[in-house]
């Protein structure tokens, strides 16, 4: 089979260049060897594939059909070869990834050292950024995002569920009362996360299908969840944030979870990467690691 694949490559090169000598130079072989490959194909197939003139070589009708089929065979063979080789290559080089600040510090950083030890030939460039940067333009191999996905040109793999909480400091609730329904939130100081479609400064979304929307107002908004939580802990309003941001403060009593008449929206964390026929081993290794640990 490998010899037949090689002969197909020679045949396609002859068809493309219309010359045995040019095809031989292109493939690093002599004109005589290129001719031998074509003769072997014709003998095997029992058909004339090329018509020789004094100036060039052209494909016969049978040759044109064989050329079309050969392109498909070689493409599939190359794909199978590349996939197999990629699976054997150790992740190495530089992996550049972008992660939201709070998620990166609280969830990714505590485990990323284990990945580095597992793959000593790979260096990690971790950018903490709450804005949704362009992977291709920024030269990133991978992004982690929490919340709604909007870019359909990227491939997404879910890493974990991120349950959300509505919470406030005991001091705030003592001064302003504890809301019992989502409708009552409209009368409270709600602290918005400006990069979210679910918990921004204008409206908060509730329910399993995100079908309950409440218009909210408040004295503060930020593009970082930790900044929102700091204001909530200081007693300046109510926060609506993922559990990985607030669960420690809920356990310590610095914040109190509110029991409302509609469930909070469930968020998810995803790994995003560009579409490619063959993913580099370093990207596949990181995604598999995150799925395993998260």
Residue 273 has pLDDT above 80, yes or no: yes
**DSSP bridge pairs for 268:** 161
Cβ neighbour number for residue 73 with a 10 Å cutoff = 14
CA atoms of 267 and 107, how far apart (whole Å): 15
- Residue range 163-222, pLDDT digits in tens: 999 999 999 999 999 999 999 999 999 999 999 989 999 999 998 776 899 999 999 999
- Residue range 7-24, pLDDT digits in tens: 999 999 999 999 999 999
Structural element, H or E, at residue 71: helix 61-88
Domains 93-161+268-293 and 164-265 share a fold: yes
pTM: 0.68
pLDDT at 203: 95
Query: Which pLDDT band holds residue 151 (cuts at 50, 70, 90)?
Result: low
Domain ranges of the chain: 2-88, 93-161+268-293, 164-265
- Architecture of the CATH domain 164-265: 3-Layer(aba) Sandwich (3.40)
Q: What percent of the chain has pLDDT over 90?
A: 75
Residue ranges in 139-209 assigned as alpha helix (H): 170-176
pLDDT at 230: 97
> Pick the residue with more confidence: 53 or 113?
113
Among 3.40.50.1370, 3.40.190.10, 3.20.20.150, 3.40.50.1000, name the CATH number for the domain at 93-161+268-293: 3.40.190.10
Q: Region 115-134: what's the mean pLDDT? A: 92
- Residue range 43-65, pLDDT digits in tens: 999 999 999 887 889 999 999 99
CATH topology for 2-88?
Arc Repressor Mutant, subunit A (1.10.10)
């Amino acid at each position: 089979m490998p010899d037949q694949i090689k002969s197909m490559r020679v045949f396609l090169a002859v068809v493309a260049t219309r010359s045995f000598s040019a095809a031989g130079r292109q493939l690093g072989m002599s004109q005589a060897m290129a001719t031998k490959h074509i003769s072997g194909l014709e003998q095997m197939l029992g058909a004339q594939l090329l018509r020789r003139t004094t100036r060039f070589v052209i494909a016969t009708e049978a040759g044109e059909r064989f050329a079309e089929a050969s392109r498909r065979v070689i493409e599939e063979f190359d794909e199978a070869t590349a996939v197999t080789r990629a699976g054997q290559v150790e992740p190495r080089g530089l992996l550049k990834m972008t992660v939201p600040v709070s998620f990166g510090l609280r969830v990714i950083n505590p485990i990323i050292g284990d990945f580095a030890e597992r793959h000593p030939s790979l260096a990690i460039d971790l950018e903490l950024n709450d804005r949704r940067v362009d992977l291709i333009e920024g030269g990133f191999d991978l992004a982690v995002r929490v919340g709604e996905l909007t870019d359909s040109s990227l491939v997404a793999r879910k890493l974990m569920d991120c349950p959300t909480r509505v919470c406030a400091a005991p001091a705030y609730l003592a001064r302003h009362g504890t809301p019992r329904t989502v409708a009552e939130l409209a009368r409270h100081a709600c602290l918005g996360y400006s990069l979210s479609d679910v918990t921004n400064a204008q409206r908060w979304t509730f329910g399993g299908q995100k079908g309950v929307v409440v218009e909210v107002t408040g004295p503060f908004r930020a593009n970082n969840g930790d900044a929102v939580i700091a204001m909530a802990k200081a007693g300046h309003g109510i926060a609506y944030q993922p559990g990985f941001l607030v669960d420690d403060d809920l356990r310590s009593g610095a914040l109190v979870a509110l029991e409302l008449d509609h469930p909070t929206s469930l968020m998810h964390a995803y790994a995003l990467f560009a579409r490619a026929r063959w993913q580099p081993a370093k990207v596949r290794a990181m995604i598999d690691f995150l799925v395993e640990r998260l």
